[in-house]
Amino acid sequence: MPDSTSTAEERVRELADGSSIPTLGLGVWQVPSGPECEHAVRWALELGYRHIDTAQAYGNEESVGLGLRESGVPREEIFVTTKFFPKHKDPAAALEASLRRLGLDYVDLYIIHWPAGGPTWAWPGMERAHDAGHARSIGVSNFGVDDLEQLLPTATVPPVVDQVQFSPYEYRQALLDSCRQNGIALEAYSPLGTGRHLGSEAVARIAQRHERTPAQVLLRWGIEHGIPVIPKSTHRERIAENAQLFDFRLSDEDIAELDALDRTGGTDRALEHKWWS
């Protein structure tokens, strides 16, 4: 049910360093390099997305760059994120290689992909990438409260984003609260639970009430919590569906029902099972 209280202002969120991040982005995790990735990026931009999220570890930065150029959308209108692959030693040098693959002069956001080897060692290199003008904003991913608490006192340029797995089923309330207290925007990856949450009966009931799809309800939940979401799809019609988020609102009851789906106990951790040591 369309509602005029759902406004265009929800489309961007200001970061603590003064930059703005579009609240809807296209994620390309697990999209192989090549035409599939190129097309997904181009379609998203044609359909109005202004935010693309890739990573060095995904191996598809070249295809992302091609998709960006093929879209014809001016560079300055697009928010591009890439992530430092922490098997490398030097974040600043790794970003220069990313920029060559992407065919860009800068990214809008550069984040440490996960805190391999501890949460602090890579940060000076992230700050160098920022000072060189190669990353407009810098941040982290997969950092829990314990990681942030170690990093923040060492930072000259504080992180402005923590990108984590986040959805109604992974509603990490304590991590979200800590991010808010520290001027960090929590950003949601896997907002559809990598597709698993699309089969949820609770989500389907709410979707039916609003004549929307489960994907739209899950994404709208993030937007209403002020959280940028980066759903992944390589299908044009789904990329389009996932962008129809700004012409309806969930009720307070819907939000409460979705919040209650959390299975993390409102954790302050970024992940239940770390894949690094």
Which positions touch ligand A2P (CB under 6 A)?
27, 190-195, 198, 215, 231-235, 238, 241-242
> CB 95 → ligand A2P: shortest distance, Å?
24
Looking at the Cβ atoms of 120 and 194, the one nearer to ligand A2P is: 194
The string of DSSP letters for the chain reads ---TTS-GGGGEEE-TTS-EEESB-EE-TTPPTTHHHHHHHHHHHHTT--EEE--GGGT-HHHHHHHHHHH---GGG-EEEEEE-TTSS-HHHHHHHHHHHHT-S-EEEEEESS-TT-SSTTHHHHHHHHHTTSEEEEEEES--HHHHHHHGGG-SS---EEEEE-BTTB--HHHHHHHHHTT-EEEEESTTGGGGGGG-HHHHHHHHHHT--HHHHHHHHHHHTT--B--B---HHHHHHTT--SS----HHHHHHHHTT-SS-S-S-S-SS-S--
Looking at the Cβ atoms of 155 and 243, the one nearer to ligand A2P is: 243
58 noted as active-site residue: yes
> CB 201 → ligand A2P: shortest distance, Å?
16
CA dist list (Å): 101 to 65, 98, 131: 7, 5, 21
Smallest Cα–Cα separation from 147: which of 131, 159, 135? 159
> CB 242 → ligand A2P: shortest distance, Å?
5
Looking at the Cβ atoms of 178 and 233, the one nearer to ligand A2P is: 233
> CB 193 → ligand A2P: shortest distance, Å?
5
* Active-site pick, 58, 169, 171, 189: 58
Looking at the Cβ atoms of 178 and 200, the one nearer to ligand A2P is: 200
Looking at the Cβ atoms of 19 and 244, the one nearer to ligand A2P is: 244
> CB 188 → ligand A2P: shortest distance, Å?
9
CA separation for the pair 163, 83 (Å, rounded): 10
Catalytic residues: 58
